[in-house]
Amino acid sequence: MRMKKIIYNIASLLLLAVFATSCGMDNYDAPESKLYGQILYKDAGGVEHPLQVKGTGEAIKLSLYQYGWQLSDGITLYADQDAKFEAILFDGDYHMITNNNNGPWKTVQISEVKKDTVDFTLKGSTEVKIYVTPYFMIENAAISLNGTNLSATCAVKQIISDAAINTQSVFISSTRFVDEQTNFARMDYSEDKSAGNKNFSFAITDASQLKSLENAKNRTGKVYARIGIKAEGADQFIYSEVFELAVK
């Protein structure tokens, strides 16, 4: 009888410990600190240049790890088409890593040890900047639409000396999200793949594209367009800013 009582008491204590632990886990406060930031290019003069990237399909990924946390799996953050990111997290010391072969750039060598890692302390609201070196930049872009005829101009600036253009394109979308995945019209240009001034134009003649254009005209009266340049060896385009175009 005495042995049964001892076993019963031990079992009760174990159940109490499990209950207390589970209650403690349930009573953790939710994270409240905000991490926000942007992927940028900093030129030799120290000037920061915002980048335009693919913002759909979870294309641009960043891996975030908290020092001292028992879980080895990182948190994946996704950049929008302005290369901005944000997350709500617990305070602490973190490091953020860009993913290999993900994006229209090469990463900056921070030190001999750290190639693509940024360390930071999160407390309250914290801004973090990630610096990369794009193969190309698109400058002085302009896009216009006249009926079903689109014209686009820009200057393609070569940043990495041995980079080569693989694809140069113009995309049109019915929403502000415009890229190689989200568009209803795309035109690729194979001539003159060198850096420098570009002039692109095309007439929308495909039946499905004309229907999308007419739908946009009836719905909002607007479409959106971007120029994209993809380098050899890169998995994604670098883009111009998004242009809002009136459909008449």
Instruction: pLDDT band for 97, please (50, 70, 90 cuts).
Output: confident
The CATH 2.60.40.1120 domain(s) of the chain lie at: 33-134
Architecture field, domain 136-246: Sandwich (2.60)
Average pLDDT, integer, range 195-211: 95
> For the whole model, what pTM was predicted?
0.83
Architecture field, domain 33-134: Sandwich (2.60)
- Indicate the burial class of 9 (C-beta count within 10 angstroms; 0-12, 13-18, 19 or more): exposed
- What is the overall mean pLDDT for the chain? 86
Condensed to tens digits (0 to 9), the pLDDT of residues 123-143 reads 989 999 999 999 999 999 999
Say how far apart CA 159 and CA 135 lie, in whole Å: 5
Q: Inform me whether the pLDDT recorded for 12 exceeds 50.
A: no
Task: Please give the pLDDT value at position 74.
Answer: 82
Say how far apart CA 246 and CA 232 lie, in whole Å: 34
Q: Tell me how far the alpha carbon of residue 93 is from its chain's centroid.
A: 23
Condensed to tens digits (0 to 9), the pLDDT of residues 56-71 reads 999 999 999 888 765 5
Task: Please give the pLDDT value at position 28.
Answer: 61
Instruction: pLDDT band for 19, please (50, 70, 90 cuts).
Output: very low
Condensed to tens digits (0 to 9), the pLDDT of residues 141-192 reads 999 999 999 999 999 999 999 999 999 999 999 999 999 999 999 999 998 9
Task: Please give the pLDDT value at position 7.
Answer: 37
Instruction: pLDDT band for 31, please (50, 70, 90 cuts).
Output: confident
% residues pLDDT > 70 (the chain): 83
80: left (phi over 0), alpha (psi -120 to 50) or beta: beta
Say how far apart CA 88 and CA 85 lie, in whole Å: 11
Q: Which residue has the higher pLDDT, 31 or 110?
A: 31
Torsion sign across C-alpha atoms 211, 214, 219, 220:
positive
Nearest 5°: the CA angle 124, 81, 38 is 35
Place of tokens 């240049």: 49
Distances (CA, A) of 135 to 81, 115, 180, 211: 17, 17, 18, 36
242 close to 223: Cβ distance less than 8 angstroms: no
What's the DSSP call for residue 28?
A: P
Task: Please give the pLDDT value at position 98.
Answer: 87
The CATH 2.60.40.2060 domain(s) of the chain lie at: 136-246
Q: Which helix (H) or strand (E) holds 20?
A: helix 2-26
Instruction: pLDDT band for 32, please (50, 70, 90 cuts).
Output: confident
